Amino acid sequence: MKGKLYGIGIGPGDADLLTLKAVKALKNADVVFVPKSKEQASTALKITSEFINENAVIEHLEFPMARDIQVRLDSRKNNAIAVSKVLDEGKNAAFLTLGDPMLYSTYSYVLEHLISDYSIETIPGIYSFSAISNTLNTPLVKGNETLSVICNWGDNELQLLQQANTIVCMKISAYYADLYTFLKENESYEFCMITDVGKEGQKVFTDIEILKDKVPYFSTAIVKRIVQ
């Protein structure tokens, strides 16, 4: 019999935010796959270390951020092959993903090559911006307000900033300077950014001047449009 794949969302950084279902799956996994990025891998393993089956094998999968699209496509397919080999051996595998597996996750790319051939259970994780809003005791949206999530910078993102009541800025380290310029020129916005939410080094910033310098990778901002 083939093994089962668990795609596990492990949340933003606090091990206490893991779901019971995620913990059970980790204890049932013979092999644990972790994206190879140094920052992500170390964070993912630190969050889950106390729950991983002590006999489990840890395997790292590389997802290069190359400009060549074909290079990225090939790596995703090769990683799916690596996962399928483990499942074909009858072993259960866990694929760790920070946050949620279905939001900007490398897991979703592997899933595309596996979904019709194997038993797969995807376990939700807490979004970084959900953890941030709860940490601040601040609702993301209320009533009929609208919410947008961006991870890049361009005309579409500018339009969302101008239309939505609340904008979640993920992967902000890639466009912090553009966001700073926008907020500097448009004062009708409230800004809050948290770095390393849920971790020991968590930091909260409400002054946009923090965006003048490069921000850490694990940073997410929440921008609220002030409606007069």
- Return the pLDDT at 119: 95
60 pairs with which residues across the strands?
34
- The CATH 3.40.1010.10 portion of the chain extends over 4-126
pLDDT value, residue 165: 96
Show the tokens assigned to 24: 């059970």
Q: Which helix (H) or strand (E) holds 122?
A: strand 119-123
Residues 149 and 87: their CA atoms lie apart, in Å, by 34
Residues whose CB is less than 8 angstroms from the CB of residue 164 and which lie 6 or more positions away in sequence, other chains included: 146, 147, 148, 225
Task: Return the H-helix or E-strand segment holding 6.
Answer: strand 4-9
Largest CA distance in the chain: 62
Given this model, what pLDDT does residue 123 score?
98
- Strand pairing category for 4-9 and 119-123: parallel
Stated pTM of the model: 0.90
Instruction: Give pLDDT, residue 42.
Output: 77
End-to-end CA distance of the chain, in Å?
62
Give the pLDDT score at 227. 78
According to CATH, what is the number of the domain 4-126?
Answer: 3.40.1010.10
Write down the pLDDT at residue 200: 87
Alpha-carbon distance of 25 to 9, in angstroms, equals 11
Query: How far is 196 from 204, CA to CA, in rounded Å?
Result: 9
Task: Give pLDDT, residue 93.
Answer: 98
Q: What is the pLDDT of residue 66?
A: 73
What fold does the segment set 129-225 form as a domain? 3.30.950
* Pair 25, 119: CB distance under 8 Å: no
pLDDT attached to residue 43: 85
Which residue ranges does the chain devote to CATH 3.30.950.10?
Answer: 129-225
Per-residue pLDDT of the chain (228 residues), as tens digits, is 899 999 999 999 999 999 999 999 999 999 999 987 656 667 899 899 999 999 999 999 988 777 788 888 898 999 999 999 999 999 999 999 999 999 999 999 999 999 788 999 999 999 999 999 999 999 999 999 999 999 999 999 999 999 999 999 999 999 999 999 999 999 899 999 999 998 889 999 999 999 999 999 899 999 999 976
